[in-house]
């Protein structure tokens, strides 16, 4: 598996809009492009970050370069309109070395 971590700062008052767009977009990526899903977190300081998994690096890079940003344009518009300034996204990528994350039931 291949893991990607994202981080965003959201404009005050637009957190719900961002969360809805993230949820819809992530669901579309999972449904249409083969992503394995993601978890969204929020720090005490209000910074959002998400951990996403893909079957492999090739799948992620192929979809990122080709179609991923357009998988659900309405969802993408929701969450990008909620971003604060230019510090929208930091991406960290890497192969999974060990996995102790419990599956949700």
Residue 15: give its domain's CATH number.
3.30.70.100
Give the total residue count for the chain. 105
Span 6-59, pLDDT tens digits:
888 999 999 999 999 999 989 988 988 899 999 999 999 999 999 899 999 899
Residue 69 lies in a domain: yes
Range of the domain at 8: 2-95
In this structure, are residues 80 and 18 in contact, taking their beta carbons and an 8 Å threshold?
A: no
Residue 103 lies in a domain: no
Question: What does pTM read for this prediction?
Answer: 0.81
Residue 101 lies in a domain: no
How many domains, the chain? 1
How far apart CA 100 and CA 13 sit, in angstroms, is 35
Q: Which residue do the tokens 């959002």 mark?
A: 48
Residue 104 lies in a domain: no
Q: What are phi and psi of 13, to 5 degrees?
A: 90, -10
């Amino acid at each position: 598996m291949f893991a990607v971590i994202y981080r965003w700062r959201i404009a005050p008052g637009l957190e719900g809009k961002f969360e809805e767009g993230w949820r819809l977009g992530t669901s579309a990526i999972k449904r249409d492009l083969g992503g394995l899903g993601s978890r969204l977190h929020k720090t005490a300081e209000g910074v959002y970050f998400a951990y996403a998994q893909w079957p492999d690096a090739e799948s992620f890079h192929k979809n990122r370069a080709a179609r991923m940003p357009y998988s659900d344009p309405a969802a993408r518009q929701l969450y990008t309109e909620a971003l604060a300034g230019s510090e929208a996204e930091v991406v960290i990528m890497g192969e999974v070395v060990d996995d102790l994350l419990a599956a949700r039931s």
